[in-house]
Structure 1
Amino acid sequence: METQFSSSTADTKQYIWAKHLRRCLTLSSSIAMSDLLAVIMVASLPWSTTITSIFSALFVLSVCPRIRIEELIDLVRRSRSGFAVGLFALALLGTLWATDVPLADRLRGVNPTLKFLMMPLLLYHFRKSSRTVWILWAFLGSCTALLVLSWVTVLVPTLTPTASLQPGVPVKNYIDQSQSFALCAVVLAWPILELIRSQRVSLAILLLALSIAFLLNLSFVVLARTALVYVPIMLFFFAVFYLPRSIFYGAIVCFLFLVGSAWLGSSTLRDRTNSILLEYSKYSVSNEITSAGMRLEFWRKSLASFREAPVLGHGTGSVQMVFDRAAQGQTGLAAQSISNPHNQTLSVAVQWGLIGCTMLFTMWLGQLALFRGPGFYPWLGFIVIVQNIVSSLFNSHLFDFVPGWIYVIGVSLAAGMILQRADRTFQI
């Protein structure tokens, strides 16, 4: 009798362990599939809007079946990503009071915020994944391939894929390319420093050469003028947070020397910088249409429309309507209209007023606070947000495709890894 009972107990334990093992293997395989989809999604980001969209949808389908709602809610709270979801909810609600805006325009206004719904799902996945480094290598490798092709099309302009693209910009546009190249160049600063400290000099030199290649492309091939602002700020934050004070001032002097050398050697850098001053002077003394002048005019009109509806704004998708109305009966610059004011805060303010601006800045500041402390992932999350905040002074980069996805993926990955390590430490 005792023998039968012991055998039965052993069989039950064996069954439980086998069931647990099968569940773990199934979960592991589903996480691996999500990792693969995320790799393709991230690798395609600098190249193709369509491929990124398709694989982001497949990623959602792969993650949703294994989500535990209580765990997801806890992660959203800890990562402050609820404010990103809140921006989407506000955009959806904003369609209700945009009564003067056609329905199609209202739905188009919601579309740029859809990516914010991905943040909790990406966070949920990255917190459990052991392969997040694949995502980092995928983006770096993809940008490196684009860097090589950029240099090739400069040297052989006839290889530029279409007539609508300029040599050095083989796909998409120079703003997205500059955003990606600058992020890679600056993010690499942390592993380079750590490799030097651990005396792995060969790999450090290789990554340093790659970082310099990205910066040289920005200096000598093609440069978004916004990068003239955010690249120095990003590098300054790295120097402040990570360089010993004994070499901090020397690094500043070295940086200024390199900037001066690039200025003297690069007509691209000089032309892009001088064009800002030239266009601003034309705006201030005449009605001539220039890029900088148009941006300043859009900001002026945005502030005027914000004063008309300061609390709730004009509703989702209302920017084009507001600008069309302001352009009526005008000439020159004042007659220009657009659906994007080229400033993230103003884009939010026009559509959703103070409520939207409060949610936007709460999201930025709340997530910045998450990335305090040493380590690569705090550095990654912090610098992705800094780049987005600074570049959003001159563009609506949260709502633009490539910069917006860089923010969503970069912040989610960094936050997921930080929470993963925090949970492991707590368990120990």
Structure 2
Amino acid sequence: MTDTTLNTAARFNLRKFFNDAADFWAIALAASVPWSTSVTSFLTAFWGIAFLFTLDRASVRETVRRPQAYVVLGFVALALLSVLWSEAPTWVERFKGVGPFAKLVLIVLVFIQFSRSRRGWWVLLAFLVSCTVVLIVSYATVIFGDGRLGGRTTYYGVPVKDYISQNGQFVLCAVGLLAFAYQRGCVSAYGQAAALIALALAFLFNVFYIQTSRTALVVLPVLCIVFALTRLRAVHAAAVIGSIIVLAGAVWMSSSTVRNRVMLTFNEASAYSAHSTDRSSTAERLEFWRKSVAIVQDAPILGHGAGSIPTTFARLAKGEGLGGIVAHNAHNQTFNIAIQLGIIGVIMLFAMWITHGLLFRGESLVAWIGLAVVTQNVVGGLFNNHLFDFVHAWIYILGVGVCGGMLMQSPAPGKELEA
């Protein structure tokens, strides 16, 4: 062999090594998300190092010219530029406020990786398996213990993280499994469909009867309706929506957990007053949203700049009750963006959601999982800051990035990409 041939072979082997390493760390990262913030951060560093050695100009150029990528980059660029007019008192706080926006760049990097990799399904499966283990541990703590893992967790039936994150993960797994079960049923693989439905119901039973978040109670029916309207014929869609109504009534009658959560929300909302000393989660959200409207009105076009939320809320804090709370999070994704980046930022946020949603218009399971992730983020963003919360941010980054990348690539000869 000539030296040129040997050098080419060496470069090929090195590129393959880093491609395999990047895939491995992405799979491990997805598996870590339901369990540990620190482990996820640790694995992100390893993934990033391996990924950088796989980059080439052609794949970067091909990806960044897509609207799903350049809208994200424009959104992040606007946040970075906003430090120039930010009302945060120090530059450290301003750039710290850019951090959650900058993390969204990872979506573009994941697009690049999985528009070339054939291991996208491994990442999705790793997340599902990891969530299934959390589910098993959750049931084990309830059946064999006091519902708390070693007494270290705060919430009943929640072995790690918090109940909002756990519910979000379980709901996403359930709707993905039900969609897959529908596909298997369509090809008469009834045994596989039954097994998938059983696992999906195990996730949903945990949500309804063990630990319930109000966000999940809104997100789940929306996801089911979106699936029915986008994936089924009109007659079947009507049947599914009717079934949702019947099942919702059955859950309401049989689950004291759901009833208590919903009734508590209405009671907290009816008792809300800015001067109240009752710091219930519902009352706090209503107060934060009331103040957010006033804050946005002060700088409606470009906002108050990255990292400005605590400063702007502090100016409106009065008294000892709810009105005196200085919020660091408006508990609404649109308000969080509007306060910092104004209406321009909100337009960028919705443009990102829309372009990502349109990427998943196909009828494949990959497309449905991607659409479910986007829908969950949009609906959950009505009540939380999910795009910037650690777990939900990673769900969005990996869900949109992996599924989007898989749909951006061309199927290998003889293989069907869109299962």
Q: TM-score, normalised by structure 1?
A: 0.91
> Does the 8 A contact of 1:347 with 1:396 survive in 2?
yes
> Does the 8 A contact of 1:75 with 1:124 survive in 2?
yes
**1:136 is aligned to 2:92:** no
Question: Match of 2:110, SS?
Answer: helix
Residue 92 of structure 1 and its aligned partner are, at CA, apart by 2.1
Equivalent position of 1:340 in the other structure: 329
Equivalent position of 1:3 in the other structure: none
> Does the 8 A contact of 1:112 with 1:401 survive in 2?
no
- Give unpaired runs (5+ residues) of structure 1: 1-10
Report 1:106-121 matches (<5 A).
106-121=94-109
Paired residue for 1:276, among 248, 265, 268? Answer: 265
Alpha-carbon spacing, 1:244–1:410, altered in 2? closer, same or farther (3 Å)? same
Equivalent position of 1:236 in the other structure: 225
Q: Give the stretch that moved more between structures: 73-82 or 43-52.
A: 73-82
Name the CA distance, whole Å, in 2 between partners of 1:79 and 1:424.
27
Q: Which amino acid aligns with 2:82?
A: G
Paired residue for 1:217, among 202, 206, 211? Answer: 206
Paired residue for 2:175, among 177, 186, 193? Answer: 186
> Does the 8 A contact of 2:64 with 2:108 survive in 1?
yes
Name the CA distance, whole Å, in 2 between partners of 1:204 and 1:94.
50
**1:206 is aligned to 2:191:** no
Alpha-carbon spacing, 1:289–1:376, altered in 2? closer, same or farther (3 Å)? same
Q: Give the stretch that moved more between structures: 95-104 or 167-176.
A: 95-104
Name the CA distance, whole Å, in 2 between partners of 1:86 and 1:125.
20
- Give unpaired runs (5+ residues) of structure 2: 415-419
Equivalent position of 1:48 in the other structure: 36
Paired residue for 2:60, among 52, 64, 72? Answer: 72
Report 1:306-317 matches (<5 A).
306-317=296-307
Q: Which has the higher helix share?
A: 1
**1:150 is aligned to 2:117:** no
**1:81 is aligned to 2:74:** no
Name the CA distance, whole Å, in 2 between partners of 1:35 and 1:221.
35
**1:368 is aligned to 2:357:** yes
Equivalent position of 1:303 in the other structure: 293
Cα deviation digits, residues 238-286 of structure 1 (max 9, x gap): 1122233343333233322222221111110101111111111101697
**1:28 is aligned to 2:28:** no
Name the CA distance, whole Å, in 2 between partners of 1:76 and 1:211.
36
Name the CA distance, whole Å, in 1 between partners of 2:413 and 2:98.
38
Name the CA distance, whole Å, in 2 between partners of 1:159 and 1:276.
24
Aligned length: 412
Equivalent position of 2:316 in the other structure: 326
**1:175 is aligned to 2:192:** no
Paired residue for 1:104, among 85, 92, 109? Answer: 92
> Does the 8 A contact of 1:381 with 1:410 survive in 2?
yes
Question: Match of 1:339, SS?
Answer: coil
Alpha-carbon spacing, 1:364–1:285, altered in 2? closer, same or farther (3 Å)? closer
Alpha-carbon spacing, 1:27–1:79, altered in 2? closer, same or farther (3 Å)? farther
Name the CA distance, whole Å, in 1 between partners of 2:349 and 2:16.
36
Residue 69 of structure 1 and its aligned partner are, at CA, apart by 2.8
Q: Which amino acid aligns with 2:114?
A: F
> Does the 8 A contact of 1:160 with 1:167 survive in 2?
no
> Does the 8 A contact of 1:153 with 1:160 survive in 2?
yes
Residue 57 of structure 1 and its aligned partner are, at CA, apart by 1.6
Equivalent position of 2:406 in the other structure: 417
Q: Which amino acid aligns with 2:191?
A: S
Equivalent position of 2:250 in the other structure: 261
CA RMSD of aligned residues (A): 2.2
Alpha-carbon spacing, 1:387–1:424, altered in 2? closer, same or farther (3 Å)? farther
Q: TM-score, normalised by structure 2?
A: 0.92
Question: Match of 1:395, SS?
Answer: coil
Name the CA distance, whole Å, in 2 between partners of 1:340 and 1:169.
24
Residue 185 of structure 1 and its aligned partner are, at CA, apart by 0.5
Cα deviation digits, residues 122-173 of structure 1 (max 9, x gap): 1111111111111011000000000011111222117523445222011111
Residue 221 of structure 1 and its aligned partner are, at CA, apart by 0.7
> Does the 8 A contact of 1:109 with 1:317 survive in 2?
yes
